[in-house]
Amino acid sequence: MAYNPEDNALAETEAPGTPRSPEGWVFDVKRFAVHDGPGVRTTVFLKGCSLRCVWCHNPESINPHPELLFHPTRCIACGACLEVCPHGAHRMTTKGARTYDRNLCVLCGRCAASCYAEALVMAGQRLSVEDVMTVVRQDATFYTVSGGGVTLSGGEPLFQGAFATALLRQCNAEGFHTALDTCGHVRWAIMERALPYVDLVLYDLKHISPPRHQQYTGVSNRLILENLRRLSRSSVPIEIRMPIIPTINDSRETIDAAARFLASLSHIIAVRLLAYHRLAGSKYHSLGRENTLPDVTPPSGRQMQRIAGWIRQHGLPVIVPETIDTS
């Protein structure tokens, strides 16, 4: 993989498309996204991330290149994948179940193309800016009526910085509100380049403690916090997103330290708490990866409210997800 460690992003020479017409690897374009910024939005999920958060809910977003997912419940055992695979990566067991050897797989995608039951699916498609905009434009009325727009997310959208910037620029040009959901772990220049086209930044803060951050995400938070400081000196509004994972980042000490840091910055319009859940386990399975999701109970509504209270004491507005009372 052409990772540029100085950028903490994809090497721009390796990006698909051309500098004038950049393309990118996108693994989903989700319409009717309600919690990714204001109003009704379309969220574009770019592939690739320089972090390795153990609680990642989108493990298929980490590798920037397309990869193969297998959903066993959809398999109809027709054997088409066996026939088309040039490297024999697919086998049928004596019991009629399909097995797959990733070591033999070159990710050519032929099996996914021949799998009509969509048990084998390539996560990630190479798209141009125009490809993405074609989908984005379809919900224009919904954006207008709700004050919504487009959100770039992923993975880490700035991992494919040139493509992300081109997308944001085009959204701008067409009058769509833009939000960028980023973890901030890229070279500042890459973020800076995208900023003129961003109306709202959604900035993830996973752990305030540098060694804990390293432990759980694979990288230090030094660059992330530095970028956040720089960001807060520009004029773009910032919504901080804090995933709350019990026993890992929810102690009073940790929360207070994070809140103290955030309170020292300008342009932080809100802190949104995201409750951890464990529903993404099957995605790891589909990818053939080890499930790293921490085996902890998701935080209760009361815990979330308590944490919100701690943060509010620092003078920061906090948004906590609500549940609907249907009783």
Over the range 36-55, which residues count as b (16 or more CB within 10 Å of their CB) and which as e? bbbbbbbbbbbbbbbbebeb
Window 61-100: contact mask with other proteins (x via CB under 8 A): ---------------x-x-x--------------------
The span from the CA of 183 to the CA of 224, in Å, is 7
Q: Residue 279 Cβ, how far from other proteins at the closest point, in Å?
A: 11
Could you say whether residue 18 binds other proteins (CB under 8 A)? no
Report the residue from 10, 15, 26, 40 that binds other proteins according to the rule CB under 8 A: 40
Give the nearer residue to other proteins in terms of CB position, either 41 or 207.
41
Give the nearer residue to other proteins in terms of CB position, either 217 or 286.
286
Could you say whether residue 1 binds other proteins (CB under 8 A)? no
Give the nearer residue to other proteins in terms of CB position, either 31 or 229.
31
Parallel, antiparallel, or unpaired for β 125-128 and 149-154?
Answer: unpaired
Give the nearer residue to other proteins in terms of CB position, either 18 or 141.
141
Q: Residue 175 Cβ, how far from other proteins at the closest point, in Å?
A: 16
Could you say whether residue 141 binds other proteins (CB under 8 A)? yes
Q: Which residues bind other proteins (CB under 8 A)?
A: 30-32, 34-35, 38-40, 76, 78, 80, 116-118, 138-139, 141-142, 144-146, 148, 321-326
